[in-house]
Structure 1
Amino acid sequence: MSDKSLTSKVSQGISRRSFIAGTSSILGAMALAVNPTPVQAKPANTSSAPIDTGAHVPALVIGTGYGGSVAALRLAQAGVDVHMIEMGMAWDTPGPDGKIFCNTLSPDQRSYWLRTRTKAPLNYFLGFPIDRDIPKYTGILDAEEMGGIIVYQGRGVGGGSLVNGGMAVTPKRENFGAVLPSVNADEMYNVYYPRANAGLGVGLVDPDWFNTVDCYQFARVGRKHAQRSNFPFVFVPDVYDWDYMKQEAAGTATKSALDGEILYGNNHGKKSLQKTYLAAAKATGKVSISPLHKVTTVTPTTGGGYTVVIEQLNTTGDTIATKTVTADRVFFAAGSVGTSKLLVKLKATGALPNLNNEIGKGWGDNGNVMCGRANHLWDPTGKLQATIPCGGIDNWAAGGAFAEVAPLPTGIETYASFYLSITKNPNRAEFSWNAATGKAELNWQTAWKQPAIDMAKTIFDKINSKEGTIYRSDLFGTNKIWGDHLTYHPLGGAVLNKATDNYGRLHGHPGLYVIDGALIPGNTSVNPFVTITALAERNIEKIIATDL
């Protein structure tokens, strides 16, 4: 079967069987319909010259994650010249070790965005801290501390696709109305979800292979415990090249997922946006990308269009040049946090005074919470664990939680089961502008995680009771059971049909659009990136048809 026909069959099957799902967990041992790009496409070449001051571009896209990549590709296919601005690096040049990305267990300067010490999601083991000092560098993972929460975000060309676990899940149809109430579900499930799944190269693990291979023993133990407590265990789709994974397991290909690679990038098997949407966008010849560039201001230009001020960074985060360009249209795709913070700043400082009062509101964490369980000696989870999750425990309808059975790839036997849960946590935060500090701030409170913990407990209290096991209390500190300090799935801040119209057009400023996860109000019931991609496909199709 061809890659194209397989991708089509998989995406149809996902919709048909309504796979519930887990998340793109950034794991932690420490944590197209139109010409879809083949699985083994080369990463997008971003070596074109960076944007010059004084340049004029028809479409400027701020960010190179899921929404921005969709917008760039579809605009280019419609004949529009596009320039993408990316704060992070291109990640297309190997380091001294011959690899582009560093290993999860051996983080170096490539691991974190402008930190001098790692900030791993799972940063204790046996109660001892495991973070380490590193040189300050524009690394791939940003652990942004925002008051009561740490938000993990990808930094580089490809955005979050570089650092997530790749779990590519379409929400259950019956849950969609709570996710995006103003969007036509029939269109999403008949057109845009299949288009997104095809463009992303989504596939499923081979169940027969899963049942026998060493690297998924941890997931089989998770399945056994779930089913013994009468919870459904479900396989979930992913954007890893499963043929490559089989070769890794057989010892015929360079190990990647089986060598602990995920949290700080994956060197081989993962189909990040560099290999899919961005590769297709670059192939049009109409898309350019400027890495290590950061947009600071967007203001209307007399006569139409917008003036955009951009800082060029070096690899220690210093501004080495400031550029001013003009754009006919600007697409905000800097991720939920990046887009929200920038828009809040632009409204508060008067750069874009007509933005409405919904800017900055409706932000949520997708209900993320983590925990571990200590298993008995007769339930080893395996020394070798693939970093790509492929299954989870579904208690969404009854308990408000879905738990990804996540790896703990330490390289040693831990007898531990590790989980990242998505929950129906209803709490929403807001970004506001602090004029005294000159920064946008988020009012999230750690205590707001309690509903997520309570929902996750509907699964794990029952499993522990059935199995006679206990929670691990050594993974997030000393005597701390719940990883309630973080999110991998920031959503909201410029909510669809509130801060924007129903297709992402920002109110008050024609030619400005939001096209990323900031549009989604705080929760998707599953891993969000397929929904972000599908919504971007829907919105850009409308924008091209009516605005251009």
Structure 2
Amino acid sequence: MSGRGRAAASYDVVIVGSGFGGAVAACRLSAAGRSVLVLERGRRWDPATFPRRLRDPWLFDGRVPHRRNGWLEVRWLDQMLVGLGAGVGGGSLIYANVCIDARPETFRSGWPSAITAAELEPHYRAVGEMLRPTTVPEGQHPVRLDLMRRAAGELEDGARFRKVPLAVSFREDLVLDGAAPPGLGASMEFLNAHGVRQGTCVHCGSCDVGCPVRAKNTLDMNYLAEAENSGNATISPLSLVRTLSREPGGGWRVHYDHLEDGRRRPDSVVARRVILAAGSLGTTELLLRARDDYGTLPGLPRALGRGWSSNGDFLTPSRHRGQVVAPTVGPTITSAIDHLDGDRGRRYFVEDGGLPNLFRNAYEARLRGGGGTSWQRWYWERLARAGELRTVMPWFGQSIDAADGVFRLRRSRVRPRRKVMKLNWNPYRTETVIVAMAAEHERLAKATGGDVLPLASWKWLRALATPHPLGGCNMAAAPGAGVVDHAGRVFGHDGLYVMDGSVIPRAIGRNPSKTIAAVAERAVALLLEEPEQRRIE
């Protein structure tokens, strides 16, 4: 148990998770004088501990979290690969910095009537004030940004091109070659508004694997820092919640394991209220286990686990012979072409994708070492013939998928006594939008002299990957249609809330982090208007 102080026996609020919902809740509740404990399964990371070498702690393994509690969890569910952050700051540690509002029409269907673009506007503004998003300054455009702009112009979509707002601190006077980063020494250190030392961006390409100069405005540098500064919040890393139950005298008991020192040490804490903010997969699984495995909350809504979305994510790389694209230089995403208005039957949001510099290093090492299977060697050699990784452009896109995935607990085939979470996901129900987006990626590539490299995982297996899981504890007007109401209150369970991506009831089609945070800002504001519950002893 770490953080600023050890956990007490009881709190006003226990928050499970420290991502875009949990961090908002911790900040606003502690500022209002509530005692708060944040239980985070991952570590507290900093530039000195970010994984960099192959032997470093890269992966978090939920089967043995006391032994493997690294930077990233990768879960394979049916025909879907999901990437999840693990650490204080949650998904902000691994996301691509994009801090953008959803389009207003997003809220016209599928949401409770109380949630509208106008209703969320002040909460979006509050998130912006904390995360300070801005676009890449002129004179610092990576090659990818200019290639995107050129592609949009060639396809007569120049009006749809835009630089996207990023939660990154830039040095305005820095001028650089878009194909080469200037080095870490070009970063300018400053003290942010929350008393945290940061630096300015040096375009090193490491946004997704830990910014070495702390230019990325991750949640531990703002919302969570503010919570700890209040003196009312304790953040407990390496604390994995197993389940929760009602206390006979009122309130809730949260059962969790300490993961320090390679062991799992059981513990529990009592709170008046509990906010689940472990993300789409984490919160959904936690509640499914409470209902269908541990049996501590048998009355949870039947809609639990339904309505899951991958946010329509899809990636297509292309190679551009004779051109330097430099995908490892610059922030991971810098620009977009927006077709979400449905014009010409298109509904997707295409972004330039970057690759961590570490990927380039691993790729070059693989070429030198000659290891791997024959298929892997063929793939690396194919990239080499394309002019190495510097010629590759990753086209990333998001769209409006069917949002009809269903999570359930099932017996493990390997360990029948153990239940595992399974996803029922039919990619063919989303195939139309993915095929349309893949075709757009190909048009963009060809317009800039590139040839696409279709992913075999989609071409042959119809398998997808997403860093933007949404839903599972969907927000709805009534318990028959969802798990929580418009304020994140779990139907039929007073004092239990959900504030994370699991409440988002449909695909957003844009990077969802700012919307998740804005919905949480609104939910916390409504929670603070509720009458105080009596103290739990």
Which bin holds the TM-score, normalised by the shorter protein?
A: 0.7 to 0.9
Match of 2:525 in 1: 541
Cα 1:509–1:485 change in 2 (3 A) is: same
Match of 1:429 in 2: 405
Cα 1:295–1:413 change in 2 (3 A) is: closer
Match of 2:289 in 1: 345
1:189 is displaced (CA, Å) by 4.6
Q: Does 2:17 align with 1:63?
A: yes
Match of 2:43 in 1: 89
1:343 is displaced (CA, Å) by 0.7
Aligned pairs (5 A) from 1:218-367: 218-231=144-157, 232-243=160-171, 246=174, 251=183, 252-253=185-186, 258-267=203-212, 268-314=214-260, 316=262, 318-319=263-264, 321-349=265-293, 350-367=295-312
Query: What secondary structure does 2:310 align onto?
Result: coil
State the Cα deviation string for residues 363-404 of structure 1 (Å, max 9, x = none). 110001100122242x42137611331101222223111111
State the Cα deviation string for residues 494-548 of structure 1 (Å, max 9, x = none). 1112211221111111100001111102411210000000000001101110243
User: Structure 2 CA distance, aligned partners of 1:244 and 1:86?
Assistant: 35
Match of 1:209 in 2: 139
Match of 1:153 in 2: 84
User: Structure 2 CA distance, aligned partners of 1:245 and 1:363?
Assistant: 44
State the Cα deviation string for residues 52-90 of structure 1 (Å, max 9, x = none). 6xx111110000111011111111111110000000011
Structure 2 residue aligned with 1:414, among 370, 379, 390? 390
Which amino acid in structure 2 is aligned with residue 491 of structure 1?
A: L
Structure 1 contact 494–518 (Cα < 8 Å) conserved: yes
Cα 1:264–1:361 change in 2 (3 A) is: same
Query: What secondary structure does 1:421 align onto?
Result: strand
User: Structure 1 CA distance, aligned partners of 2:175 and 2:261?
Assistant: 35
Match of 1:101 in 2: 50
Q: With the length of structure 2 as denominator, give the TM-score of the two structures.
A: 0.80
1:323 is displaced (CA, Å) by 0.7
Q: Does 2:440 align with 1:491?
A: no
User: Structure 2 CA distance, aligned partners of 1:511 and 1:259?
Assistant: 44
Q: Does 2:91 align with 1:110?
A: no
Which amino acid in structure 2 is aligned with residue 48 of structure 1?
A: R
Structure 2 contact 205–354 (Cα < 8 Å) conserved: no
1:303 is displaced (CA, Å) by 1.7
User: Structure 1 CA distance, aligned partners of 2:96 and 2:221?
Assistant: 16
Structure 1 residue aligned with 2:4, among 39, 48, 51? 48
User: Structure 2 CA distance, aligned partners of 1:222 and 1:189?
Assistant: 30
User: Structure 2 CA distance, aligned partners of 1:287 and 1:440?
Assistant: 32
State the Cα deviation string for residues 399-448 of structure 1 (Å, max 9, x = none). 11111111245376532221111011114211112255322322124545
Which amino acid in structure 2 is aligned with residue 495 of structure 1?
A: N
User: Structure 1 CA distance, aligned partners of 2:487 and 2:326?
Assistant: 47
Cα 1:155–1:479 change in 2 (3 A) is: closer
Query: What secondary structure does 2:208 align onto?
Result: coil
Match of 1:517 in 2: 501
Match of 1:123 in 2: none
Match of 2:349 in 1: 402
Count of matched residue pairs: 467
Structure 2 contact 131–167 (Cα < 8 Å) conserved: yes
State the Cα deviation string for residues 100-142 of structure 1 (Å, max 9, x = none). 3134xx54423221399xxxxxxxxxxxxxxxxxx96311111
Further displaced range: 432-441 or 513-522? 432-441
Which amino acid in structure 1 is aligned with residue 395 of structure 2?
A: Y
Cα 1:329–1:244 change in 2 (3 A) is: farther
Match of 1:9 in 2: none
User: Structure 2 CA distance, aligned partners of 1:351 and 1:326?
Assistant: 15
User: Structure 2 CA distance, aligned partners of 1:530 and 1:190?
Assistant: 11
Cα 1:368–1:439 change in 2 (3 A) is: same
User: Structure 1 CA distance, aligned partners of 2:339 and 2:57?
Assistant: 37
Cα 1:380–1:470 change in 2 (3 A) is: same
Q: Does 2:28 align with 1:77?
A: no
Structure 2 contact 327–393 (Cα < 8 Å) conserved: no
1:456 is displaced (CA, Å) by 0.7
State the Cα deviation string for residues 201-244 of structure 1 (Å, max 9, x = none). 212222x224xx5xx01221122122201222211101011128
Cα 1:482–1:371 change in 2 (3 A) is: farther
User: Structure 2 CA distance, aligned partners of 1:427 and 1:489?
Assistant: 12
1:449 is displaced (CA, Å) by 5.1
Match of 2:444 in 1: 463
Cα 1:400–1:64 change in 2 (3 A) is: same
1:187 is displaced (CA, Å) by 4.1
Cα 1:495–1:209 change in 2 (3 A) is: same
User: Structure 2 CA distance, aligned partners of 1:203 and 1:499?
Assistant: 35
Gaps of 5+ in 1: 1-44, 117-134
Structure 1 contact 371–419 (Cα < 8 Å) conserved: yes
Structure 1 contact 293–313 (Cα < 8 Å) conserved: yes
Match of 1:500 in 2: 484
User: Structure 2 CA distance, aligned partners of 1:112 and 1:354?
Assistant: 34
State the Cα deviation string for residues 446-485 of structure 1 (Å, max 9, x = none). 5455234213134224335545642124xx5599699953
Structure 1 contact 368–452 (Cα < 8 Å) conserved: no
User: Structure 1 CA distance, aligned partners of 2:114 and 2:331?
Assistant: 34
Further displaced range: 222-231 or 426-435? 426-435
1:266 is displaced (CA, Å) by 1.6
Which amino acid in structure 2 is aligned with residue 524 of structure 1?
A: I
Identity of aligned residues (%): 27
Which amino acid in structure 1 is aligned with residue 204 of structure 2?
A: D
Cα 1:375–1:480 change in 2 (3 A) is: farther
Cα 1:505–1:413 change in 2 (3 A) is: closer
Measured on the aligned residues, the alpha-carbon RMSD in Å equals 2.8
Cα 1:413–1:305 change in 2 (3 A) is: closer
1:342 is displaced (CA, Å) by 0.7
User: Structure 1 CA distance, aligned partners of 2:461 and 2:133?
Assistant: 31
Structure 1 contact 380–413 (Cα < 8 Å) conserved: no
Structure 2 contact 254–268 (Cα < 8 Å) conserved: yes
Q: With the length of structure 1 as denominator, give the TM-score of the two structures.
A: 0.79
